[in-house]
Structure 1
Amino acid sequence: MHRQRIGNTALNKVLLFYLTVCFVPTFVWSITVNSPAELHASKGDTATLSCTFTSTSPPTSKMTVDWSYRPQTGGPPQTFFHFSSRAFPPSEGQFSGRVKWQGSPARGDASILLINATLNDNGTYTCSVRNPPDVHGSPTSHSVLTVTPRAARVRFSDVTLLLAFILLPSALLTFFLIGRILCPKKQRSQSKPTRSPIEVTEGEEYSTRPAAETVKSPTCCELCFMDPDEEEYYYNLKKTPSMEEEPYVESKC
């Protein structure tokens, strides 16, 4: 009986050690990584690939961050960015010169920037964080990036040129035509024949000069839309000196 008790005690210790090694790190030394499930960007934009993590141990120099990319068309993921005390951006390949470290390990941030996004960047991005001894839990997270073509935009210079060379002349021509319609031409009045000063009709012992023709001043609208012939006639008529009617003088004969 004594030997059986010793055997049971030894077995219990082995089981306890096994449970401690297998399960305790899961609850004590664990790390959790989170990132948005979907990300959207327009072609040419700078897309922020967000990634945050929580760890039971403070970040140390042994902490590492890896970003991998799996194309939308499929295939194995490829690591293109690595961080360990400092950033190691890609020097070749699709993301060369377009990835910038934006994270802060002290704040639990492992984000990066993807500069000048293209349609070929569509796919799944995976963020992996290791912070020994926190190596268990959920050390990875996935985000699907969708890049769409940028909508066409009209620049201010294009609008200015359009107004200056097309719309403005069209507006002036339309205004001129409307003015010609609203201000019809006035028929040139025919001057009445006048008698000669030496002409004497029956019953008249003296002659008189005809009264000067009355010139009506045109309106602003008529001057604006007056034909060249009418305009010349108006100004010539205006310059002609008016003839005042001679006073009545009784004959002394």
Structure 2
Amino acid sequence: MGIARRNLSWTQPGMLLLMVGLCMPVCVEVPSGTEAVQGRNMTLACISCMKREEVYAITTVKWFYKPPFGGDESLIYEYSAGQPKEQKSSMEGRLVWNGSRDLQDVSITIINVTMNDSGIYTCNVTRILHFEAHNHLVENEIRISLTVTKEASDDFTSVLSEIMMYILLAFLTLWLLVEIVYCYRKISKAEDVTQESVSDYLAIASENKENCSVPVEE
């Protein structure tokens, strides 16, 4: 009995830890958009996932910008020691930190995009992982080639989806009209049959009434 209780006491925390592990959010590295529209906001997505064993780390994030037609790469944004900070550039005052608390998502947003914002953006993520025996340096870079347009271009997938939607609506409308015509004809036939039945019934009743005359006693 004591052994069973001891096994149960170890099993419950183990199951709890397993459930917590399964319920932890999963980090998924998704590519950033590469087309922005003038006058709108654009988020440059940079997601650098950490492994489960990477429990504690010091993270430094640097965003660089390089013009599309040559020119030097310059630092435009930096996140260090828990503080995001804009650097002096043509985008100063229009960059907003959009990263997550766990620093796996270290994205930034450009406010009121201009045509001059086209170019190559580099997201540099440096982590110093603190293990019991040693520290380990991990560095990751993500490059985004951004193109700014005056108007949003129609994506082929969205255009195709819109065409399919209109085709589906036309089909449903045609099917509804066919159903209405079919039901109307069915109701009309039912009314005709009912009227014929009533007429036949009245004719038979009238005939029976004439045949059932009462004899007169002399």
TM-score, normalisation: structure 1: 0.42
Q: Of Structure 1 and Structure 2, which has the larger fraction of its residues in helix?
A: 2
TM-score, normalisation: structure 2: 0.49
Q: Which has the larger radius of gyration?
A: 1
